[in-house]
Amino acid sequence: MRIDVLGVGFDNVTMEEAIDRGMELLHSQGCHYVVTPNPEIVEVCRENPAACRAVNGADLVLPDGVGVIKGARMLGTPLKEKTPGIEFAAGLMERMAREGMSLYLLGAKPGVAKMAGEKLAQAHPGLRIAGTHDGYFHEDAPVVEEIRQSGADAVFVCLGAPKQELWMEKNGPATGARLLCGLGGSLDIFSGTTERAPKFWSDHGLEWLYRLCREPRRIGRMMKLPLFLVHVKQEKRRR
Ligand code: UDP
């Protein structure tokens, strides 16, 4: 059963369990997708029913950061641990590499996915990069066809939220892949274009502050974080 945080149902799993589940999905018939919402996305879902449906329709919903963990605890329904998308992706690639599986990288500015692909292939011997495409295209069909032709087992869809969740819900089955993962800015990090917050910051739940210092233009988006906590408090009182 999922744990509800302001209308988004989260799977209550450890990172290890999340990766096991990801592999199970990769080995099962049909097309599946994974989402990794943070408080900002939960807030988007409160306002956007289509985004909410796409997020809750995923086969695996993982809490990306400490904000969701805090919210769930405040509501009296704690989640086991945070399962950041980027760490989930790294664990999944390690397991995929052992089985010689293939991965398609979709998203980010031109050149970034290709660079990420080169680095990931080096870091995970055995993992096959089936193809890459930037995230600034106007028509879905040619991209979907390219993925289908590549025969990829999995696709990392990094178009930002909620675009990537809506994209996976709509186009997932036509790609022929068995698993799609919505991973926001992960390709920027895998390619080395952007740095992830050092461990100290993330261990103290301050990854958001690190990102804000590096990219002050995120301030508008980050105002959703205090709003999320206000909504959690309201929900707690209501319950
Ligand atoms: N992006 C994209 N196509 C778009 C809009 C965004 O490929 O139409 C990419 C953008 O270049 C970045 C990622 O999506 O690589 C979103 O990153 P962001 O840091 O906003 O996501 P977060 O990790 O915060 O969810």
Q: Is the pTM of this model over 0.85?
A: yes
pLDDT of 189 reads 95
Ligand 1 pocket: which of 45, 115, 136, 225 to mutate (most atoms within 8 A of CB): 136
Asked if residue 51 has pLDDT above 90, the reply is yes
Atom 19 (ligand 1) nearest CA: 185
pLDDT digits (tens, 9 = 90+) for 98-112: 999 999 999 999 999
> Domain range for residue 201?
3-238
How is residue 14 written in tokens?
């450890």
Quick one: which atom of ligand 1 is closest to the CA of 38? Answer: 25
Average pLDDT on 214-218 reads 83
Cα(105) to ligand 1 centroid in Å equals 13
Ligand 1 contact, 113 CB (< 6 A): no
Asked if residue 149 has pLDDT above 90, the reply is yes
Asked if residue 15 has pLDDT above 90, the reply is yes
Ligand 1 contact, 185 CB (< 6 A): yes
pLDDT of 214 reads 84
The string of DSSP letters for the chain reads -PEEETTEEEP---HHHHHHHHHHHHHSSS-EEEE---HHHHHHHHH-HHHHHHHHTSSEE---SHHHHHHHHHTT---S----HHHHHHHHHHHHHHTT-EEEEEESSTTHHHHHHHHHHHHSTT-EEEEEE-S--S-HHHHHHHHHHHT-SEEEEES-TTHHHHHHHHHHHHH--SEEEE-TTHHHHHTTSSPPPPHHHHHTT-HHHHHHHH-GGGHHHHTHHHHHHHHHHHHHHH-
pLDDT of 233 reads 97
pLDDT digits (tens, 9 = 90+) for 164-211: 999 999 999 999 999 999 999 999 999 999 888 888 888 887 888 888
CATH number, domain with residue 191: 3.40.50.10700
How many domains is the chain partitioned into structurally?
A: 1
